[in-house]
Chains A and B, each alone.
Chain A
Amino acid sequence: DGGITQSPKYLFRKEGQNVTLSCEQNLNHDAMYWYRQDPGQGLRLIYYSQIVNDFQKGDIAEGYSVSREKKESFPLTVTSAQKNPTAFYLCASSTVSWSGANVLTFGAGSRLTVL
């Protein structure tokens, strides 16, 4: 079945450590996104990529990094520079077309807890 796979589902990290969240899609979508979800704040965009080897900062990119070496993969690294990394992270993908039918498909999410 086509979809988005995020791993791990739960991750614990000590302060000062970098951690990488995986996101893989087999939907043949050109665009991929990372959102962060905190209680009472909805979803906020961290990074997005509309094509391989290119990505753009979202609204809260500080302390995060991404890469897009393959169309199917868009890993997110939470660095030690991120001051409050404990959150739920959602990866999404979409087509990119002028028709505007770029509906986002989401993965099941990864819960990161900093100890």
Chain B
Amino acid sequence: AQTVTQSQPEMSVQEAETVTLSCTYDTSESDYYLFWYKQPPSRQMILVIRQEAYKQQNATENRFSVNFQKAAKSFSLKISDSQLGDAAMYFCAYRSATRPNTGTASKLTFGTGTRLQVTL
């Protein structure tokens, strides 16, 4: 079974600075997807960024980027120019890329989350 580990329960960053959230995972599969989700105080889960394991290029979405190290099974999230609205819980998640009819294609395995505080 796959596992996802987020070793930083809490992080803090000053507004306009850069912060990196860590995520490692364990899998024997070669094809999979990785995600970062944000959960603000409203508790609505929002997709931040997605990475396909077969792509070597790191995904980027505006101020959010990832450092995907497949051999090291590491998937960190970098937030640049941090804003007060970035304060939230951030969850790293893994999903196998097997076919849907196996019954496992769309199941996500989540890490325990990192609470990010943004200070003035």
For residue B105, CB closer than 8 A to chain A, the reply is yes
Q: A50-B100, A94-B106, A109-B43 are in contact. Are A100 and B91 (CB under 8 A)?
A: no
The digit string for B93-110, where 1 denotes a CB below 8 A from any CB of A, is: 001010110010111101
Pair A90/B45 contact, Cβ less than 8 Å:
yes
Interface residues of B in 53-97 (CB under 8 A from A): 91, 95, 97
* Candidates B33, B44, B46, B111; contact of A100 at CB < 8 Å: B33
Instruction: Indicate if the CB atoms of A50 and B99 lie closer than 8 Å.
Output: no
CB-nearest residue of chain A to B109: A45
Query: Size class of A's contact patch?
Result: 20 to 34
Q: Does B42 contact A (CB under 8 A)?
A: yes
B117 at the interface (CB under 8 A from A): no
Residue from the list A42, A98, A103, A109 in contact with B100, Cβ < 8 A: A98
Interface pair B43/A104, CB less than 8 Å apart? no
Kindly list chain A residues whose C-beta atoms are within 8 Å of the C-beta of B47. Answer: 103-104
Task: Given A42-B110, A50-B103, A96-B105, answer yes or no on A102-B44 (Cβ-Cβ < 8 Å).
Answer: no
Shortest Cβ distance from residue B30 to the other chain A in the assembled complex, whole angstroms = 14
Query: Chain B 18-58, CB within 8 Å of chain A: the 1/0 string?
Result: 00000000000000010100000011111100101000000
Q: Assess the B106–A50 pair: CB atoms within 8 A.
A: yes
Q: Are B108 and A104 in contact (CB under 8 A)?
A: yes
A109 to B46, CA, bound (A): 12
Determine if A103 and B112 form an interchain contact, defined as CB atoms under 8 angstroms apart.
no
Inter-subunit contact B43/A108 (CB<8 Å): yes
**Residue of B50, B108, B111 contacting most chain A CB atoms (<10 Å):** B108
Contacts A97-B100, A108-B42 hold; do A102 and B105 have CB atoms under 8 A apart? yes
The reply to whether A42 and B113 contact each other, CB–CB distance below 8 Å, is: yes
Question: Do residues A42 and B111 form an inter-chain contact, with CB atoms below 8 A?
Answer: yes
Residues in B with CB closer than 8 Å to A48 are 106-107
Contact partner of B45 (CB less than 8 A), chosen from A41, A56, A106, is A106
B contacts, CB < 8 Å to A: 4, 6, 9, 33, 35, 42-47, 50, 52, 91, 95, 97, 99-100, 103, 105-108, 110-113
12 contacts between A and B (CB under 8 A): A40-B112, A42-B112, A42-B113, A50-B103, A58-B107, A94-B106, A98-B99, A98-B100, A100-B97, A102-B105, A104-B108, A109-B44
